[in-house]
Every structure is written in C-alpha cells, then in structure tokens.
C-alpha cells in the first residue's frame, strides 16, 4: 500500500511548521513545507505549484499557518487552498473554516451566533461611537481585525485625556475599516488555551503573564503551565470550537469574576503550549489523525 503524500502549508524554519513536517515524514516518508508566498495558481491547468510540486496532486494538505501575520492577503491564499480542495485534495482544517477566523469580526459573529459567552464588544465605523464605548466600559482593548498574539492591540481607559483617545482612535481607523472594541475583563494573571483535535478534547494549558504586560501572550513574556479544567469548562471550549469545525484548534478562555468567557478560537492552534504546558506531542497526534483520516477515505 502506498503511503499518502501530505504537505504542510506554513512558515519555513518556524518550529511549529517544521515539527509537524517532521512528524508526517516519520509516518509517510514524504516531506513538503509549502510557503504560500512562493505558490503559483495555474487556472488553465488546475495546478497549484510550489516549485516543482503540484499541490493538487497531493493526498492531503495541512494548513499550519497561512501567513506570518493575519491580513486581507491571507484570505487570498485561502482561496488558493480552497481551489485544490474542490479538486479532491483533503485539507486540514478546511479553508471555509479557516476563512471565518482570519478576520476577527467574522470569528466573533460566529461565536456570538453560537451563544458562546464573550467580553462585551462594540463594532462601529464612527469615531464618536467608539469614544462613547470607551467611556461606557471604562477600560477597553482596541483590537485590529487582522491580528494574532495581541499584536497591534491597545488598551484604552476612560481616564485618559480625550484628545489622546481621539488621536489613538484616528490612527487605528487609518489602518482598519472598523473599530473593534472589547471591554477588558479581570483576570488572575492568566488565561487558558484549550486544545481540540478532530473536535475532541486534547488538553488545556494556561498562559501566565509576566506582570509587566496587560496581556498574557508568550509574545509578551508569558509562560505555559498545566491546567486541569472542569467538565463544564471543557464543554464551553467544545461549544466554541464547534462553531468552526476545525481539524485542530486552541480555544482561548478567560476565567473572570463574572464567569468564564471565550476570547477567540484559533484558526490553526499551537503545539508549543501543549508541549510545554501539558507535556503532550500535539504535532505528533495531529499527524496521526490526518494520516488516519486520509487512509479512511481510501485515497491510498
């Protein structure tokens, strides 16, 4: 029986991309890391070329990372991947599911429509309405529509000078089509990353802040620790990830004085938190899952 050929769309040289490619190579003997910046879509021949490799001829593709940062251009790349999915290549996660999460607003709306508790959020094009939301909430996080790991986010408080607030809001609007404003919540210095594989619970880790930053991301100096959630908390994470039907994801959950809330669901999910916080090889488990799914379909 031939072993499946599975490519990894990601960032060459990045640990999470390379470790997933390593795990797949160990299972199948095939290795391909695909940089979307180097891909050419040939519509006349229905090929998606990365060098000499035609992605349309692969048995499967795992989208580990569509781009280094979220941006409207990432949505164009998703369309490329969607085209080969329609040609019969199995894609993990599906481009449709990923596409809902590249833009923060579409992801938020899916969670809201799914009845998932989130921090109070206001979205508007109006600077005056945005300013009013800051005064109403007292303390808010201004979030770019295309952003990961808290990049570009800014905390605003009602006690700041109005001219300063207007200046920040004006600068934000020059880069974003909408104001996305979320009320800050009281954390105990950590938030949770709840990992799901194929819709099934995998593990939970906490991101613990370094006390010098308002957010707990590793990008801002936080670190991972193991966390044992209650069944009720797992069900909240399950409900949130079910809004998107992702093959692998991490649900960001905050424990607040008013109960747990979901910050967001990751389009791709991370491996390092599971490894360092839970001592589990999520990359290996994901590779096993994908190979099993492709074999079950009978591609090989």
Domains of the chain: 6-101+283-297 (3.40.50.20), 121-183 (3.30.1490.20), 186-280 (3.30.470.20)
Minimal CA–CA distance to 264: which of 144, 174, 137? 144
In DSSP terms, 157 is beta-bridged to: 139
In DSSP terms, 47 is beta-bridged to: 42
The low-confidence residues of the chain, meaning pLDDT below 50, are 213-215, 299-300
List CB contacts of 282: < 8 A, sequence separation 6 or more.
Answer: 195, 197, 202, 203, 248, 269, 270, 271, 274, 275
What pLDDT does residue 299 have?
46
Please state the pTM of the whole predicted model: 0.90
Which residue carries 């009720």 as its tokens? 232
- Helix and strand numbers, DSSP H then E, in the chain: 9, 16
What pLDDT does residue 242 have?
97
What pLDDT does residue 221 have?
56
In DSSP terms, 195 is beta-bridged to: 203, 250
Q: What is the DSSP letter of 210?
A: -
Do the strands 53-54 and 47-50 form a parallel or antiparallel pair, or are they unpaired?
antiparallel
What pLDDT does residue 71 have?
77
Q: Which run of H or of E encompasses 55?
A: none
Do the strands 179-183 and 190-197 form a parallel or antiparallel pair, or are they unpaired?
unpaired
Given strand 6-9, what is the order of strands in its sheet? Answer: 33-34, 6-9, 60-63, 90-92
Task: Report whether 91 contacts 61 (CB < 8 A).
Answer: yes
Q: Give the total residue count for the chain.
A: 300
What pLDDT does residue 152 have?
82
Locate the DSSP E strands across 32-111: 33-34, 39-42, 47-50, 53-54, 60-63, 90-92
DSSP H stretches of helix in 87-155: 95-102, 104-113, 127-137
Task: Report whether 180 contacts 140 (CB < 8 A).
Answer: no
Q: Which three-class secondary structure state does DSSP give residue 285?
A: helix
The first and second tokens of residue 89, run together, are 């290549």
In DSSP terms, 141 is beta-bridged to: 155, 182
């Amino acid at each position: 029986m031939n072993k499946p050929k599975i490519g990894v769309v990601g960032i060459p040289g990045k640990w999470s991309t390379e470790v997933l490619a390593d795990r797949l190579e160990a299972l199948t003997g095939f290795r391909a890391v695909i940089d979307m910046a180097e891909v050419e879509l040939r519509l006349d021949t229905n090929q998606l070329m990365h060098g000499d490799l035609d992605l349309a001829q692969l048995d499967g593709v795992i989208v580990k990372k569509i781009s280094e940062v979220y941006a409207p251009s990432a949505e164009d790349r998703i369309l490329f991947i969607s085209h080969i999915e329609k040609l019969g290549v199995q894609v993990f996660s599906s481009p449709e599911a990923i596409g809902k999460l590249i833009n923060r607003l579409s992801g938020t709306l899916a969670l809201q429509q799914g009845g998932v508790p989130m921090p109070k959020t206001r979205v508007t094009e109006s600077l005056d309405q945005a300013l009013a939301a800051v005064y109403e909430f007292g303390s808010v996080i201004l979030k770019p529509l295309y952003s990961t790991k808290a990049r570009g986010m800014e905390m605003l408080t009602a006690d700041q000078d109005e001219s300063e607030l207007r200046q920040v809001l004006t600068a934000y609007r020059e880069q974003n089509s909408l104001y996305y404003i979320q009320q800050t919540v009281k954390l105990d210095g950590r938030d949770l990353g709840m990992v799901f594989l194929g819709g099934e619970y995998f593990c939970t880790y906490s991101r613990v802040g370094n006390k010098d930053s308002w957010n707990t991301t590793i990008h801002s100096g936080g670190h991972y620790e193991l966390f044992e959630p209650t069944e009720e908390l797992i069900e909240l994470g399950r409900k949130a990830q079910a809004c998107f039907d992702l093959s692998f994801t991490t649900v960001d959950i905050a424990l607040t004085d008013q109960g747990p809330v979901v910050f967001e669901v990751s389009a791709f999910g991370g491996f390092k938190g599971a490894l360092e916080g839970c001592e589990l090889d999520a990359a290996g488990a994901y590779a096993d899952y994908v190979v099993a799914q492709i074999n079950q379909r009978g591609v090989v």
